[in-house]
Amino acid sequence: MSTTPANEPATLRDVAEAAGVSIASASRALAGRGDLSRETRARVVAAAERLGYERAGGGRGRPTTLDPRLIEFVLGSFDDAWTDAMTRGAREAAFAAGFDLVLTLERPDPTADWPTRVATRRPSGVIIGIITPTARQLAELQGLRIPVVLLDPRSDPGGALPSVGTTDWQGGYDAGVHLSRAYERFAVVTGVPPYRFGRAREEGFRAALAEHRPDATVTRVNSEWSQAPLTEALVRPFATDTSPVGVFACNDEMALAVYRVAFMLGRKIPDEIGVVGFNNEARAAAASPPLSSVSQPLTAMAARAVELVRELRYHDAPPYERVELATELIVRSSTRTAR
């Protein structure tokens, strides 16, 4: 039990005692660092909130009495499976923690810039999904003294902001190992622009083939991240060489475009074209044949971003680290069994 007089601010020791942990563990929990359980982190953060703990110097957070208990979730769109899953995860985590969640759309109109709208509401923190703020937008957000967390950013924040993502490289590697067991020729379909996560997935895929099929041919095909039209560049590799090929697409949208190519060319999946996607959207399991795909824990990623916002409210220098949650390869009948 803390003995801090009512007229004195709570210290980190008080928080640690209230949560039943060491001072070092309390510091790591509030900073989002260290190998601590989710329950321990939640207990420390709850104790800090209850005691009104504020780190010396004011920090990035604002006094609890001014906290509207509001988290702003900024996205570029709200009309796809990725944003649906992320929004659900953020909403459930925010509500469980006693926060309201506001969804904010990034608009092309500079007069309706989302940081201005955020500044008007002055939320407890901001989660930015996929998009990476410009230098001007970041400066405006930092001036508000509220935590900002990037969720699966398109580019590497380079230590400028904390971020939450998934093990993209490992997911690509697992797809490569799986395909290497049943095919001898390979293709990788990646999106343009070459976002950070796309590059990591392709690098993991190529690393697996270099290890398991060092003499294999790998064809790189560029496509679009969304809608993925049947362009000549997408069709050509499968039309000019009819030998069996294992294909890794950097998202399910592009993987299903390969399905359309196979249908158009009369090629059989998985005997002639084996396909692995990434994201494991609901339509992956509903495809014919069901699509093998690397699953991302999207709702858990969004929930972790909410937790980071809570933790970073109490610190001057939040940990500018990337938090990664593990992917899992879901094998279905779009790929052959190992030879």
pLDDT tens digits, 276-315: 999 999 999 999 999 999 999 999 999 999 999 988 876 6
Q: Is the pLDDT of residue 26 over 70?
A: yes
Domain ranges of the chain: 12-51, 64-165+298-324, 168-297
- Per-residue pLDDT tens digits for 238-264: 998 999 999 999 999 999 999 999 999
**64-165+298-324 shares its CATH topology with 168-297:** yes
Q: Is the pLDDT of residue 61 over 50?
A: no
Q: Is the pLDDT of residue 81 over 50?
A: yes
Write out the two tokens for 311: 């933790």
What's the confidence (pLDDT) of residue 187?
A: 97
Residue 316's pLDDT band, with cuts at 50, 70 and 90, is low
Considering 44-48, 119-123, 133-137, 186-190, the range whose residues carry the highest mean pLDDT is: 186-190
What average pLDDT does this structure show over 86-97?
94
CA 49 to chain centre: 27
- 158 by Cβ neighbours in 10 Å (0-12 / 13-18 / 19+) ranks as exposed
* Contact (CB, 8 A) for 299 and 332: no
Least confident of 46-55, 189-198, 277-286, 288-297: 46-55
Work out the mean pLDDT of the chain and round it to a whole number.
Answer: 85
* Contact (CB, 8 A) for 273 and 238: yes
What average pLDDT does this structure show over 49-67?
56
Q: Classify the C-alpha dihedral 299-177-336-260 as positive or negative.
A: positive
Residue whose structure tokens are 């003995």: 3
In CATH, the architecture of 64-165+298-324 is 3-Layer(aba) Sandwich (3.40)
Residue whose structure tokens are 């660092």: 33
What's the confidence (pLDDT) of residue 56?
A: 45
Residue 59's pLDDT band, with cuts at 50, 70 and 90, is very low
Residue whose structure tokens are 């074209």: 273
Topology (CATH level 3) of domain 168-297: Rossmann fold (3.40.50)
Residue 101's pLDDT band, with cuts at 50, 70 and 90, is very high
Write out the two tokens for 159: 């230590």
Q: Is the pLDDT of residue 178 over 70?
A: yes
Q: Which residue has the higher pLDDT, 58 or 18?
A: 18
Write out the two tokens for 98: 């006693």
- Per-residue pLDDT tens digits for 118-157: 877 889 899 999 877 777 777 777 777 788 899 998 888 7
Write out the two tokens for 48: 């800090």
* Contact (CB, 8 A) for 107 and 131: no
- The set of residues, in sequence order, having a beta carbon less than 8 Å from that of 321 and lying 6+ positions away, is 32, 33, 162
- The set of residues, in sequence order, having a beta carbon less than 8 Å from that of 193 and lying 6+ positions away, is 154
SS3 string, 47-116, reads HHHHHCCCCCCCCCCCCHHHCCCEEEEEECCCCCHHHHHHHHHHHHHHHHCCCEEEEEECCCCHHHCHHH
